[in-house]
Amino acid sequence: MPFTTTHLRLISPLIHPSSPSIRSLVSANTKPFRLSASSAAMDSNSSCMLVLSGKSLAENEIAESLKSNSTLKLPDNSEVSIHLQSEIVKQESFDVELFMNSLATNRFGRLLIWSPRLPSTHDVVSHNFCELPVGAVCVADVQFKGRGRSKNAWESPKGCLMFSFTIQMEDGRVVPLLQYVASLALTEAINYVCSRDGLPCLDIKIKWPNDLYLNGIKVGGILCTSTYRTKKFNVSIGIGLNVNNEEPTTCLNAVLRKLSDSTYQFRREDVIAAFFNKFETFYDTFINQGFQTLEELYYKTWLHSGQRVIVQEKNEDQVVENVVTIQ
């Protein structure tokens, strides 16, 4: 998708697009050990623990190989402790079994790397991209060096769903559209969980290009990065979603409590599994038929319809501005 010299300046304070194209809108120890919440109390200088598991025998064999070869590294070469999920006696955190049982994909999410505390899930998958199968995902309970667009920091307290996963693509022209596919899959995953469990529908919307808003407040974001190697684009997609953390803004469960007397709470495992189930379907449609097939659903989900924007177009040495309403 070629970029043009068309620029947008938005009148609404809720959106701040920066794209230059208006078209782009559219350890070797195998003895079982006990893991408790105190494991997450490591400081930033401590060893980072990675727990590996797979959906099937094939992914579990990959996990065993990654552990036995001590393959996974962090960008700063800090110490990494690698374990298999089967070695964990007790885990007071991410429920791997619940996630795997809810996962119904052929590629995405089937190899899981979980950690109680990491600098960044994105660093794990991007730094080890060539060692991981496509679709591998890293999830952390707490991350202390999360980031967003334009080098912004992403505050990631406990209760937030934070994960990153891998994709490989050949057509670089459509790589920028992946963030839209991921945004749509995340909103549809939340809607699916609400519908499945008989919950009130949450007003979750996409704020272009890669944020999620709930009742006008930001609750999530998507970050896509890529490198080009051997004629393919290695893409890492990172997602942060406030599921059960009311700071620094609000979260899904806080809004749900205001809408329902039910004691039900969103679980991170349900949301991420539903995300991958939706994403795989949307991704296949996107690759085989183009993003146009998803546009109608995307526009129903975003929050910009009816907003007034200023479109800037450069004509030789002159800049022409027009005020339009997004339809």
pLDDT at 23: 34
Alpha-carbon span 224 to 305, nearest angstrom: 25
CA 147 – CA 164 distance, rounded (Å): 12
Computed on alpha carbons and rounded to an integer, the radius of gyration of the chain in Å comes to 20
Angle between helices 292-301 and 268-289 (to 10 degrees): 140
Nearest by Cα to 141 from 109, 104, 95, 185: 95
Q: Which domains does the chain have, with CATH numbers?
A: 47-326 (3.30.930.10)
Candidates 246, 235, 243, 185; CA nearest to 210 is 185
Of the candidates 179, 186, 237, 166, which has an alpha carbon nearest to the alpha carbon of residue 208? 179
> Per-residue confidence of the chain (327 residues) as pLDDT tens digits?
333 333 433 333 333 333 333 333 333 333 444 444 333 333 444 578 999 999 999 999 999 999 999 999 998 888 899 999 998 876 668 999 999 999 999 999 999 999 999 999 999 999 999 999 999 999 999 987 655 555 555 557 789 999 999 999 999 999 999 999 999 999 999 999 999 999 999 999 999 888 999 999 999 999 999 999 989 999 999 999 999 998 888 999 999 999 988 889 999 999 999 999 999 999 999 999 999 999 999 999 987 666 677 888 887 778 888 877 666
Pairing relation of β-strands 7-10 and 217-229?
A: unpaired
